[in-house]
């Protein structure tokens, strides 16, 4: 057995990493992950799944929608729920707008409205939008949401001039009772996906990387770094604390024929880090629930972080055990 080995677990894919917290103190971070595939009747466990050490993007890194962030955040006060998929009309009937909903009992109830393609209409110097065309499916990512500014750098509908606006597509994804207006800086950015670190809602939590930081603190994070930066779901997709397993989830508007309804498995894990001078045990919290309605897969990411400043060399191994199952 090598230093820092994690003993295999029959259910979990596992990975560990030594890293520093925002104060530069060493942490041993252990991530366990389970994935299930829906076959139309049952959710079946997947044998192995990837644990991401880098953000995963739909296209060019840093310039396209983020599928999921790296999975080695050492702190989350709430479970992030990330939903990836397309809006699909019921029974493939053409529609001009369509609502998609995510519901987790006691935690989240979120609905977004997706419009069919629209065009800009210019009237004597002012701009409006046409009626939507019909569609049966549409992508849901932040490139179709309000943006073009610091809130959502890959979005559309906000520009410095009418000419620049006319060169953009019309945004299609909104919260119910909202739509594009000439004062769309008040409109909420709408999406179900992971929020990239370069969106204003996360970037402002990263702290101030100025000359003071460069001269006196680098590579430690800025003094005004906020741990909420590690929450990668939209604010209304962050649970009230951590999921514990057993919660009922309903996802509608993403499949032509079905509403996905299921309960999370009621499984909990505990991590035990064995050092030469002591053993530390802690529960593994559910940091992320990820659902992909295209592939009909869901995953749960469990995380434990062990402070180990000045004792990294004493770490021998880590053992994961089950603590609860329905």
Strand partners, 280: 273
pLDDT band at 124 (very low <50, low <70, confident <90, very high): confident
Residue 65 has pLDDT above 90, yes or no: no
Residue 2 has pLDDT above 60, yes or no: no
Total tally of structural domains belonging to the chain: 1
* pLDDT tens for each residue of 242-261: 999 999 999 999 999 879 99
3-state secondary structure 54-115: CCEECCCCCCCCEEECCCCCCCCCCCEEEEECEEECHHHCCECEEEEEEEECCCEEEEEEEE
* pLDDT tens for each residue of 87-101: 999 999 999 999 999
Residue 178 has pLDDT above 90, yes or no: yes
Show the domain range for 230.
Answer: 5-325
Going by C-beta distance under 8 Å and a sequence separation of 6 or more, which residues neighbour residue 24? Answer: 220
Provide the pLDDT for residue 3.
47
* pLDDT tens for each residue of 183-228: 777 899 999 999 999 999 999 999 999 999 999 999 999 999 999 9
3-state secondary structure the chain: CCCCEECCCCCCEEEEEEEECCCCCEEEEEEEEEEEEECCCCEEECCCCCCCCCCEECCCCCCCCEEECCCCCCCCCCCEEEEECEEECHHHCCECEEEEEEEECCCEEEEEEEECCCCEEEECCEEEECCCCCECEEECCHHHEEECECCECCCEECCCCHHHHHCCCCCCEECCCCCCCCCHHHCCCCCCCCCCCCCHHHHCCCCCCCHHHHHHCCCCCCCCCCHHHHCCCCHHHECCCCCCCCCEEEEECCCCCCCEEEECCCEEEEEEEEECCCEEEEEEEEEEEEEECCCCEEEEEEEEEEECCCCHHHEEEEEEEEEEEC
pTM of the predicted protein model: 0.94
């Amino acid at each position: 057995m090598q230093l820092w080995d994690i003993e295999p677990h029959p259910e979990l894919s596992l990975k560990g990493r030594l890293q520093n917290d925002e104060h530069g103190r060493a942490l041993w971070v252990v991530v366990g992950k389970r994935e299930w595939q829906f076959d139309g009747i049952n959710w079946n466990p997947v044998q192995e799944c990837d644990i991401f050490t880098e953000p995963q993007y739909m296209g060019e890194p840093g310039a396209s929608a983020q599928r999921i962030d790296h999975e080695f955040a050492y702190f989350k006060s709430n479970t992030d729920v990330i939903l990836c998929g397309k809006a699909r009309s019921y029974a493939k009937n053409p529609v001009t707008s369509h609502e998609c909903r995510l519901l987790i009992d006691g935690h989240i109830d979120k609905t977004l409205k997706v419009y069919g393609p629209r065009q800009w209409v210019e009237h004597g110097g002012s701009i409006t939008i046409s009626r939507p065309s019909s569609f049966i499916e549409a992508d849901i990512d932040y490139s179709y949401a309000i943006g073009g500014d610091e809130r959502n750098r890959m979005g559309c509908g906000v520009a410095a001039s009418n000419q620049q606006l006319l060169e953009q597509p019309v945004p299609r994804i909104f919260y119910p009772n909202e739509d594009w207006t000439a004062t769309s800086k008040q409109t909420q950015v709408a999406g179900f996906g992971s929020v990239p670190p370069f969106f204003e809602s996360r970037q402002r939590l990263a702290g101030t990387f100025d000359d003071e930081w460069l001269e006196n603190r680098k590579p430690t994070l800025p003094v005004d770094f906020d741990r909420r930066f590690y929450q990668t779901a939209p604010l209304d997709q962050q649970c009230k604390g951590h999921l514990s397993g057993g919660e009922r989830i309903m996802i509608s508007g993403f499949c032509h024929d079905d509403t996905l309804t299921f309960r999370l498995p009621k499984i909990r894990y505990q991590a035990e880090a064995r050092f030469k001078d002591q053993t530390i045990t802690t529960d593994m919290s559910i940091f992320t629930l990820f659902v992909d309605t295209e592939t009909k897969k869901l995953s749960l990411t469990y995380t434990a972080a062990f402070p180990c400043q000045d004792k990294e060399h004493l770490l021998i191994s880590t053992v994961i055990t089950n603590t609860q199952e329905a």
